[in-house]
Amino acid sequence: MDAADQLETAARLDPDSLIVKTELAMAFFHSKHYDEAKKICENVLSENEEFVPALKVLRWTYLMKKDYRSARSVFQKELSYSGGDPGDPDWNMISAQVESLEGNKRRIGEKLDRSLKHSSAGKANSAFSYENALAYNLLGNREKALKWLEKAEIARDTDFIMLEIDPRFENLRTEPRFQKLLRKLKKRS
């Protein structure tokens, strides 16, 4: 029984649990079943439009589907319902991920560089290292993406455990530094 099967069982046992449904959407996302992930997130959001975890997974899904308009719309809701401030530099890594689909990637990358110099997200032991790696990877900067993944491993970023199955890093899978990070992750297990 895989994770999606277990989460489907959990959703049947507790059909009102929004977090279980969102975790199921996340399992579909990581197995590249984006339409199913989207459908589940939309169902969760029809029950509670402010449920930020579902908005986050839906944003990821739209990014993978390269649907800028929808990703941007969901990001705005995520920012609003989480109490985020668009002027806060810590949110620039997420904004850069969304903006990577449209716009000048070099300019967006430079803006991200500047904001990381002046935010908690730019610290070497940051809990945001994985998100920074995602932003740089989506901007096409493999070197900085790998650097931030290495920082995520050192910082024991909670998202780092998803590295092996995260489709957003598909383009880095053959990189020796990425392979080394995967070996380190497997040693932890």
Q: 166 with 31: CB under 8 angstroms?
A: no
Tell whether 84 is covered by a domain: no
Q: Measure the CA–CA gap between 11 and 37, rounded to whole angstroms.
A: 14
**pTM score, two decimals?**
0.90
Q: What is the mean pLDDT of residues 108-127?
A: 78
Whether 105 and 173 map to the same domain: the answer is yes
Tell whether 117 is covered by a domain: yes
Q: Measure the CA–CA gap between 174 and 45, rounded to whole angstroms.
A: 37
pLDDT at 1 over 70: no
Tell whether 10 is covered by a domain: yes
Whether 94 and 63 map to the same domain: the answer is no
Domain that holds residue 156: 89-188
Whether 60 and 111 map to the same domain: the answer is no
Mind listing the pLDDT tens digit for each residue in 17-52? Answer: 999 999 999 999 999 999 999 999 999 999 999 999
Q: What is the CATH number of the domain that holds 32?
A: 1.25.40.10
Query: Residue 57: which of 112, 8, 102, 19 has the closest Cα?
Result: 19
Number of domains in the chain: 2
**Lowest mean per-residue pLDDT among 3-7, 26-30, 137-141:** 3-7
Tell whether 74 is covered by a domain: no
